[in-house]
């Protein structure tokens, strides 16, 4: 007598739930955050506009082709109007996104490069190393970033790369604190003790185990450093010590538009709106990533 074939039992709901990867749960949390999804779409559009600016703008940003129409209001021919020097304002807004976004991403990258090793050292070794790094963080925390950036910008006469370095100098603190907290939480875990038992050096443990397990706060710190760098660049350009003209930046355009605000509103409103939308979208996207990648929420 043969036994009937029995189909394998389907995994129960709790079993199926446990089989999901942590990234699946993170995506589920992120996809449920409508504000973060909308912000990500807006940010992607802005990045694509900045990359393909020559294809979507009619003229170069420095071209003074419309001197006879200077200070013209928005129209079907010139969507954002004409500035005081006869340049198409829509073109300058789009090219300004290149400068602002590139400074934001480059400064965030440098912030991560500085913050990761310092945070990992502070979290892993503790003691005097942690004390020294925390005192450095406190020093950067009590100094107003804008005032310090104004001083450094005035001494170095500003410029594109100078702004990136200044923004990175004040943006690494948040990344360092995030990595420090994550490494401190993982340094007593079983896999770290096993690596030590097998003879792994501290640098090997930090490089191969602790930093890879801190990737979530690193990503969050990177994204949240972008709007801070963009705001710093806009502030310095507004004060006249940022990226020098004729290179278009939103802060520089806001500075120029303030002089015409009461009569030609578009010269100040459009660059201000572009900066506000970009910073808001980046911040909301970073907040959504932070909530989705929060290790305390995994598996819930």
Rounded CA separation 123/267 (Å): 48
CA 78 vs CA 52, 57, 88, 271: distances in Å = 19, 10, 7, 15
Domains and CATH numbers, the chain: 30-297 (1.10.3720.10)
Distance CA 245, CA 160 (A): 11
| Residue 21 pLDDT | 65
* Res 297 pLDDT > 50: no
Query: In a 3-state reduction of DSSP, which class is residue 82?
Result: strand
Alpha helices in 34-159 (DSSP H): 34-51, 53-56, 89-125, 127-142, 145-156
Distance, CA of 217 to CA of 119 (rounded, Å): 11
- pLDDT value of residue 57: 82
117-160 per-position pLDDT tens digit: 998 888 888 888 889 999 988 888 887 777 777 787 777 777 78
Helical ranges in 143-189 per DSSP H: 145-156, 160-186
For residue 61, the 8-state DSSP code is T
| Pick from 11-20, 54-63, 85-94: least confident | 11-20
- Asked if pLDDT for residue 30 goes beyond 80, the answer is no
Q: What is the pLDDT of residue 87?
A: 84
d(Cα 71, Cα 81) in Å, to the nearest integer?
Answer: 7
**Of 93-107, 220-234, 256-270, where does the model show the most confidence?**
93-107
Burial 92-118 (b: 16+ CB within 10 A, else e): bbbbbbbbbbebbbbbbbbbbebbbeb
Across 252-278, average pLDDT: 85
Phi and psi, residue 82, nearest 5°: -125, 140
Structure-block tokens of residue 84:
């005081």
> What is the spatial distance between Cα 72 and Cα 66, in angstroms, rounded to a whole number?
9
pLDDT at 18: 53
Closest by CA to 236, choosing from 167, 299, 297, is: 167
Radius of gyration of the CA atoms of the chain, in A: 25
Position 299 scores a pLDDT of 42
Residues 79-112: pLDDT tens digits? 888 887 888 888 888 888 888 888 888 988 998 8
- Whether 173 and 137 have beta carbons less than 8 Å apart is answered as yes
User: Is the predicted pLDDT of residue 26 greater than 60, yes or no?
Assistant: yes
Mean pLDDT of the chain: 80
- Does 162 have pLDDT greater than 50? yes
CB 159 within 8 A of CB 244: yes
What are the beta bridge partners of residue 82?
A: 88
């Amino acid at each position: 007598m043969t036994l009937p074939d029995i189909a394998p039992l389907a995994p129960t709901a709790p079993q199926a739930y446990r089989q999901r990867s942590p990234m699946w749960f993170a995506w589920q949390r992120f996809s449920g955050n409508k504000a973060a999804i909308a912000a990500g779409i807006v940010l992607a559009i802005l990045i694509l506009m900045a990359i393909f600016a020559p294809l979507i703008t009619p003229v170069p940003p420095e071209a003074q082709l419309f001197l006879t129409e200077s200070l013209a209001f928005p129209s079907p021919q010139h969507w954002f109007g004409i500035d005081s020097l006869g340049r198409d304002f829509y073109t300058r807004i789009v090219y300004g996104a290149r400068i602002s976004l590139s400074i934001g991403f480059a400064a965030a990258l440098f912030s991560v490069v500085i913050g990761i090793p310092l945070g990992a050292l502070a979290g892993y070794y503790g003691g005097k190393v942690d004390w020294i790094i925390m005192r450095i963080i406190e020093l950067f925390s009590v100094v107003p970033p804008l005032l310090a950036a104004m001083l450094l910008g005035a001494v170095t006469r500003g410029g594109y790369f100078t702004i990136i370095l200044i923004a990175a100098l004040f943006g690494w603190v948040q990344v360092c604190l995030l990595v420090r907290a994550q490494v401190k939480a993982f340094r007593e875990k079983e896999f770290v003790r096993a690596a030590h038992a097998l003879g792994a050096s501290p640098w090997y443990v930090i490089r191969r185990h602790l930093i890879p397990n801190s990737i979530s706060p690193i990503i969050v710190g990177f994204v949240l450093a972008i709007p801070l760098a963009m705001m710093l660049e806009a502030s310095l350009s507004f004060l006249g010590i940022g990226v020098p003209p004729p290179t278009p930046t939103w802060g520089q355009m806001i500075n120029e538009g303030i002089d015409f605000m009461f009569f030609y509103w578009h010269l100040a409103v459009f660059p201000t709106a572009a900066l506000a939308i970009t910073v808001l979208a980046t911040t909301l996207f970073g907040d959504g990533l932070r909530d989705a990648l929060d290790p305390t929420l995994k598996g819930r």
